[in-house]
Amino acid sequence: MYRKFQLRVPQLILAIALMILGLITIYNLSRTELVTFGKDFTSIGLLVGGLIFYIGVLIIFSMFQNETILSIAILFPSMVAVAIFVYGFIGWSVRVSLSQWKGLRPDYTWVGLKQYIDLFDHDPRFMIDVRNTGMFTVLFIIGCLIIGLGLAILLEQKPKGETIFRGIFLFPMSISFIASGVVWGWLMNPSTGSHLTGINLIFHFMHLDFLINKWFTTAQPWGMAFTVIPAVWQLSGFTMALYLGGIRSISDDLREAARVDGASEFQIYRYIIMPMLQPVTLSAVIILGHMSLKIFDLIVALGKQDIRLDVPGIYMWTTTFSANNYAQGAAIGILMLVSVAILVIPYLVQSMRSEIKL
């Protein structure tokens, strides 16, 4: 006999006990504070209390023989968290960006699109940001794609020590943008003359003095181009890994057939492998593109907030938390979001559709 609800007494007692325990925790914490190890755990304690209570609720839910309800109930906390912290906060940011909030006291006076119009209309700093981001994005994506594909093709020739090479090209990915920015700041030291150092010094040793340059302190707009070097150093290995995966998934039969038909190795790459790698290139462009539109820490560590190397992420940070211009900061944040969304949403929709079809 199929029962919609199966009462199990031990579970019920456990559930009620958990719910009471959770409520007691919440009740006590809301009256006193929980400070241990010198940290204020009150809010975390309240959260834990809530979760204990919720586990009790889940146990009762599990007695209904309906997996969908239980499944939704378990997902519920994550869904609420994302709904608040992602969508709720985006909505809140949008509202701030439509206000004139400047200063520590919140001011939600509605000014419409004024913040956005000001940014585009007469804000030279934001124009620098847009130009820098554009240049960074284009050069970064091109650099990663070319080097990544090149490395993948080289490693595809199965050289000895392939795994070592692969490891060398991939390890920068594990280092933080901050650490990489600090080191590359020293490698790309712009001092000249008797203070020559960093990579410039290597050029000098190799009698390639004509290559000595001022790196990211070159006159704008080209100084920004050099900030791409550490970024490519970190992510070309990732692009290589994507391409390697793509090449390896192309069946050997196809290449063998082409060889039998008399195609050269070059022709095989040009007419068979490259066209089949287009989806990989697309994912790489999306992923690298959304990273470069958000680029922040690398430039902070490298440029030390030099205005010539400014990007929207840094502008948002300083205008909000140093100048207390919250409305403008929110507007920049939302513009960053829009630029990323234009790139990512079609891709997300596409990959969800193709997955559902399978």
Q: Which of residues 149-188 bind another protein (CB under 8 A)?
A: 150-151, 154-155, 157, 159, 165, 167-187
- H or E segment at 39? strand 39-40
Instruction: Report, in Å, the least distance between residue 112 CB and another protein.
Output: 19
| Residue nearer to another protein on the CB measure, 22 or 234 | 234
Q: How many CA atoms lie within 13 A of 69 on its CB side?
A: 12
Q: In the beta sheet, which residues pair with residue 110? A: 99
Q: Which of 81, 127, 146, 257 binds another protein (CB under 8 A)?
A: 81
49 vs 333, which CB is nearer to another protein?
Answer: 333
Using CB under 8 A, which residues numbered 37 to 66 contact another protein? 39-44, 47, 62
- Binding segment for another protein (CB under 8 A), chosen from 13-21, 107-115, 197-205, 209-217, is 197-205
Q: Which is nearer to another protein, 56 or 329 (CB)?
A: 329
Residue 241 Cβ vs another protein, minimum distance, rounded to whole Å: 6
Q: Least CB distance from residue 182 to another protein, whole Å?
A: 5
CA 247/CA 281 separation, integer angstroms: 12
Distance of CA 137 to the CA centre of its chain: 14
Instruction: Identify whether the C-beta of residue 61 lies closer than 8 Å to the C-beta of residue 69.
Output: yes
Q: Does 242 bind another protein (CB under 8 A)?
A: yes
Instruction: Map the footprint of another protein across residues 285-324, applying CB under 8 A.
Output: 287, 290, 293-294, 296-297, 300-301, 304, 312-313, 316-317, 320-321
Taking every pair of C-alpha atoms in the chain, what is the biggest distance, in angstroms? 91
**Residue with smaller CB distance to another protein, 19 or 97:** 97
| Helices 9-31, 42-63: inter-axial angle, 10-degree rounding | 160
Please, which residue, 224 or 314, has the CB nearer to another protein? 314
Q: What DSSP designation does 11 have?
A: H
Q: What is the DSSP string of 129-194?
A: HHHHHHHHHHHHHHHHHHHHHHHHHHHHT--TTHHHHHHHHHGGGGS-HHHHHHHHHHHT----GG
Interaction between residue 146 and another protein (CB under 8 A): no
Phi, psi of 247 (to 5 degrees): -65, -40
Using the minimum distance from each CB to another protein, give the nearer residue, 123 or 297.
297
For another protein, the binding residue among 1, 9, 67, 219 (CB under 8 A) is 67
Nearest to 324 by CA among 335, 334, 316, 333: 316
Question: Cα(273)–Cα(137) distance, rounded to whole angstroms?
Answer: 26
Window 200-239: contact mask with another protein (x via CB under 8 A): -xx--x---------------------------x---xx-
Q: How far is the CB of 282 from another protein (least distance, A)?
A: 11
- Euclidean distance between CA atoms 190 and 216, whole angstroms: 8
Closest CB to another protein among residues 22, 185: 185
Of the pair 36, 219, the CB lying nearest another protein is at: 36
- Nearest-approach distance from CB 336 to another protein, in angstroms: 4
Class of residue 335 by CB neighbours under 10 A (exposed 0-12, middle 13-18, buried 19+): buried
**Could you tell me where the DSSP H helices lie in the chain?**
9-31, 42-63, 67-82, 89-97, 114-122, 124-156, 162-170, 177-187, 199-205, 223-226, 228-248, 252-260, 265-268, 274-276, 278-293, 297-303, 312-321, 326-357
Nearer of residues 223 and 312 to another protein, judged by Cβ? 312
Interacting residues with another protein between 106 and 145 (CB under 8 A): none
Q: Pick the piece of the chain touching another protein (CB under 8 A) from 12-20, 110-118, 196-204, 217-225.
A: 196-204
CB of 268 to another protein, least distance (A): 14
Nearest to 228 by CA among 260, 188, 263: 188
Task: Out of 5, 7, 78, 206, name the contact with another protein by CB under 8 A.
Answer: 78
